[in-house]
Every structure is written in structure tokens, then in C-alpha cells.
Amino acid sequence: MIKRLEVDGVPAVLAPASGPMHAGLVFRVGTADEPLARHGLTRLVEHLVTDGLGVDGQQLGSTGAEHTYFHMHGSPGEVADFLTGVCAALRNPPAARLATVRQLLRGTPPDRDPLPMWRHGARGFGVASYPEWALGKLTEEDLREWIARYFTRENAALWVAGEEIPDGLTLDLPSGERRPAPAVPTELPVTPAYFTSAGGAVAWDTVVRREARAAVFATVLERRMMNDLRRRDGISYQPHTEYVPRADGTARILAVADALPERQDAAVGGLIDVLAAMRAGQIDPDEVATVVKLTCEGLRDSELRGARLPGQAFNLLSGREVQSLEEALAEVRSVTVEDVTEVAAAAYQAGLLMTPTGSGADWAGYTAAPEMSENTLPGRAHRGRKDRSLRLISGDDGISVTGHGQVASVRWDECALLLAWPDGGRRMIGLDAVTARVEPTLYRGADRVVREIDARIPARLRIDMPPRDRAAIPQPVAPHREGTWRERWRPQLFLLLFGPFTLLGLTGVVSVLTALGNDGRLDWQALLAGLGLTAFFGWLCVGAIRELLARRAARRR
């Protein structure tokens, strides 16, 4: 039985559990709360606070999208010492260790999932898809401000798996306020959608209502993928799904199908087929019954081990009531095939599919997710060097980079991050995840645009990057001309020969007119030579005129 209580003003849940005591302190803050220009700040706080605390191999800190928690297995005394030490370190962060911990984190970057960026852009849940560029810039003042905002008594919850709260536990946290769930914007105008990724992975995610039937659907989907993609077709070795509840009442479902390079297209088709079949209601009632039974068994086992407590502490932070085991079991037992089918249909409609480079999902009714901007912002245009199809445009609204049929626009007031290199290269990332790359080497007069960018973008959004190798700085390249050498040089040859052979053509005309001599006899040699030169001249004129007209039409396009 889970008890709800309070420790030093922090809401807590307590329940007996088998095995040694374990407990955790969770805060409602994660990567979804970080601006892109401060990405990595929460993880830095987590590691700095736990640096040197606890028993080797027993302490644990973790930073997720919405929550950061500190967790310990051990004796009551070890648990109390660890969590008390966490709160003391939050009160007085060990600033002397900042540079060391920061360097360690830069060497161990977290895994990056590209799907959130395509769905949510460069903010909120999408921030986790980006590198932690800000780590080298974060200061002690940044840490203290972040701690004062999020790591407070009102924004925390405690769970303890044991008979009672351990003696000596003191949660001396600063006062603050409860932070609401992070916003969940979307940058997908149409779903289901897809995008291609150079990594070669095949994955799908969706956002649905947070409820027991959605969790059951995620497990049924995994079992269906395992049966169809692995056992039956031998496409994927370990397909799997994840069900991630969120504080705003929604949940993310992620499905991943690993595959060898030569089977990736088959994995895309296989995953799409599984999703479409479940959407159409092709779900085995026995499979749902099995999943319901296994889920209930898992809940009972989690109750014995105290594994349900962290989720209940997270619920406290999101304003949800603590759910007893009986309530959880009843909710799962009520799930039917019809419920799973409804979730499958809603999940399919909101789905986002990631396919390997060279493959797509248009054939299955998926819409390509936008990767560039729809419109070009007004302003001064700077032509590309050598490649005249390139344009760099800067104006009162922002920056646009165009060329080869693509447009990347970032407004000044919607810039999430500016990356700046000493050689003048600039990369502006918009809140919609569109990136405008400004390289002074590629455009005429681009130095003026770089100065304008530096003046308009606030320092808090700027990350100064280390110098680039000369080979990494883009250089202007003339556009490649396709076709054979005859196709490339024929217009020039026509124009080159047009002038000289005009004279030969006129000579042929004169030869025809003078072929009839004064004695009345016809000079056949002169006549044939004149006709030949006249015909060649005519063919040359027609070809040259056609090439000139074609070039003129191409310039207009």
C-alpha cells in the first residue's frame, strides 16, 4: 500500500518493498525546459551535484525530457546521506569542480533521437535532438539561476521504497514554485509524415492520450513487430517499442526496427504494413488478452519491488493523484480489442516515420515533413560567387538563403540559436528547426550580412565555435554542367563558326548567280559548289538561332 506524506515540505510517497531500501528525489525539469542556447544545463547540474556523493556504483542521477532525479539503493543511512548531500550541493554547488565536470560531459554526450526535432522543432521536446553546444559556455551564474528556478522544494517530490523514512534524511531545499508541464508545439503541418535520415535507422513515433489502453497498444505493437519483422520475415533482429507518459496528459510511443543496410527498405515496408494492419483493426483478441494479463503481472511485481513509486512521484509533480495498485489493475483489465484499435487509428494518423536515405513513404500515403522554408524573406540580395543561382538575403524580418530550388529562412525574433565561427561563418537555427547557413566565402558582400547578424542576435543566443580547418570552410564552386562534351560545347561552336561561314554562304549565293557564263553554257561545278555552301550556311543559321532562343528561355526560367 502506497502512503502519501510530506518530508521537509516536499510531497512524498512511501511503500514497503522487497530487497534493500531505495529512494529518489525528482524535480520537474528536463531538456524540454532548456532553450537550445542553454542545452546541457540540466545535465550539468545533475552531474555536478552528485560528483563525489554516495557509495561507488550505487548512486544514480538521470536527466530526462521533463524530470531530473537522484536515486540511491543501499542501507537507510546511505540513502539518507546521499539525498541529504544532494540537497546540500544544490544549496551550495561545488563550483571548483565545474570545469572538470563540464569537460567530462563534453566527452560523454547523450544519445540523440532525431524524431523530436522533426516533430517539435528546436524548442521543447525537440531540444534533445541537438548537440549540447552550450556546455563550454555555461557559467556558475547560469547554474545558480537554473537551480533557483527549478531545483526547489515546491518543484520536487520524494519516493522511498522501505518501511519508513530513513532517519537523518533532511531535504533542505530553497523555496520556489511548481513548474508547469513544458509546452508541446508541433512543426508538422500534415500527418502521417516521414523524413529521411542518413543514420540508416527505421523508426516511428506518435503522440496519443496518456491512458492504459495506449500502453497496451504499444506492447501489442512490439509483439506484432517481433512476430512479423523478426520471426516471419527475418528483417529486424530486435524491434521494440517504448511508451513514455508526459506531464501534460499525453504519451509518446516510439517504435524502432533495426536492420542491416541491405534490409532497410524491407524494414520500412514491414513497419508500415504492421501499423496499417493495426489501424485497420487486424488485431488478435488473444494477443490483447495476453498483453493485459502480462501487464497486470508486471504491475504486481513492480508493487512488490517498489518500482511503481517513481511514477507516482512523477504524478505528484504533474498534479495527478497517486494511483493504487487496485486502480491500476482495474484500468488495464478494462482494455478491449476495440480500445486498442481506436488507439491504433489515432496513433497512425499522428505518426512520424524516419526512413533511411534513398527511401521514402509517399507510396503509403505519408507526406514528406518540411525541411526547408516556404517563403523567402524580403531584403537585400547578395549573389553567390561563381554559382549565380545562390542568394543570401537580409532584411528587417530576418535572413533567407536560397539556391537550387531550396529556401532556408530564419526570422530575427524566431532564432533559437546562433553558431559563430572566427572565420565569419554563421549558422542561424530557427524555432522551426530550419537552419540558415551564412558563409562569407560563398556570397558577394556577405561580410555586411555577418555584421548585421552579430548586431541583431542577442548574446544569450550566441555560441562561439572553435576555429575550423581550412578544408572545412566552404569554397565557391561553379555549378556542374551535365551532358556530353558535344552537348556542352555545341552552342559555342555554332556561335564561333557563325561569322566566318556567313561569308562562305554569301560566296555560295554569288556562285549560283554566276554559274551561267557569258557564252550561255552552265558551269555545273560552280553551281554544285554554290548550292552546297548555301545549304551549309542555312543549316548553321537555323542551329545557331535555336541555341540562342533556348538560352534566352533558360535565363527567363
Give the single-character DSSP code of 404. Answer: T
Which sequence spans correspond to the domains of the chain? 3-161, 193-368, 380-472, 485-556
Residue 321 is placed in which grid cell?
493523484
Whether pLDDT at 91 is above 60: yes
Task: Provide the pLDDT for residue 535.
Answer: 72
Give 429-472 pLDDT, tens digit per residue. Answer: 999 999 999 999 999 999 999 999 999 999 999 999 999 999 99
Within 10 angstroms of residue 547's Cβ, the number of other Cβ atoms is 17
Question: What order of strands is seen across the sheet that includes strand 391-394?
Answer: 380-383, 391-394, 398-403, 406-411
Whether pLDDT at 327 is above 50: yes
Whether pLDDT at 294 is above 70: yes
CATH classification (class only), 3-161: alpha beta
Q: What is the dihedral of CA 494, 497, 498, 502, to 10 degrees?
A: -150
* pLDDT interval class at 60 (50, 70, 90): confident
Q: What is the Cα–Cα distance from 418 to 332, expressed in whole angstroms?
A: 47
Q: Which of 221, 217, 190, 220 is nearest to 203 (CA)?
A: 221
The values of phi and psi at residue 291, to 5°, are: -65, -40
Task: Provide the pLDDT for residue 487.
Answer: 46
* pLDDT interval class at 388 (50, 70, 90): confident
Burial class (CB in 10 A: 0-12, 13-18, 19+), 383: middle
* pTM recorded for the entire structure: 0.84
Task: Provide the pLDDT for residue 485.
Answer: 45
Whether pLDDT at 389 is above 60: yes
Long-range contacts made by residues 450-453, C-beta under 8 angstroms, separation at least 24? 450/424, 450/426, 452/394, 453/394, 453/399, 453/418, 453/426, 453/428
Whether pLDDT at 15 is above 60: yes
Whether pLDDT at 490 is above 80: no
Q: What is the Cα–Cα distance from 60 to 58, expressed in whole angstroms?
A: 7
Whether pLDDT at 557 is above 50: no
Whether pLDDT at 209 is above 70: yes
Residue 411: in which H helix or E strand, if any? strand 406-411
> Which residue in the block uniquely carries the three cell numbers 563558326?
497
**353 against 499, higher pLDDT:** 353
Give 169-178 pLDDT, tens digit per residue. Answer: 999 999 999 9
Q: What is the Cα–Cα distance from 430 to 450, expressed in whole angstroms?
A: 17
Contact assessment for residue 338 and residue 162, using Cβ atoms and an 8 Å cutoff: no
Give 366-381 pLDDT, tens digit per residue. Answer: 999 999 999 999 999 9
Give 161-194 pLDDT, tens digit per residue. Answer: 999 999 999 999 999 999 999 989 999 999 999 9
Within 20-149, strands assigned E span 21-27, 59-63, 68-74
Same fold, 3-161 and 193-368: yes
Task: Provide the pLDDT for residue 486.
Answer: 47
111's CB contacts (< 8 A; 6+ apart) are none
> Which residue in the block uniquely carries the three cell numbers 522511498?
160
Mean pLDDT estimate for the chain = 89
Whether pLDDT at 540 is above 70: no
212's CB contacts (< 8 A; 6+ apart) are 328, 331, 332, 334, 335
Average pLDDT over residues 90-107: 92
Whether pLDDT at 528 is above 90: no
* pLDDT interval class at 215 (50, 70, 90): very high
Helix/strand/coil for 384: strand
* pLDDT interval class at 201 (50, 70, 90): confident
Whether pLDDT at 506 is above 80: no
Q: What is the dihedral of CA 491, 496, 499, 501, to 10 degrees?
A: -90
* pLDDT interval class at 231 (50, 70, 90): very high
Helix/strand/coil for 250: strand
* pLDDT interval class at 556 (50, 70, 90): very low
- Domain 193-368 fold: Cytochrome Bc1 Complex; Chain A, domain 1 (3.30.830)
Task: Provide the pLDDT for residue 552.
Answer: 52
Q: At what angle do helices 337-349 and 264-279 cross, to 10 degrees?
A: 130
Instruction: Indicate the residue type of 359.
Output: S
Average pLDDT over residues 280-293: 97
* pLDDT interval class at 198 (50, 70, 90): confident
* pLDDT interval class at 550 (50, 70, 90): low
Task: Indicate the CATH number for domain 380-472.
Answer: 2.30.29
pLDDT more than 70, % of the chain: 85
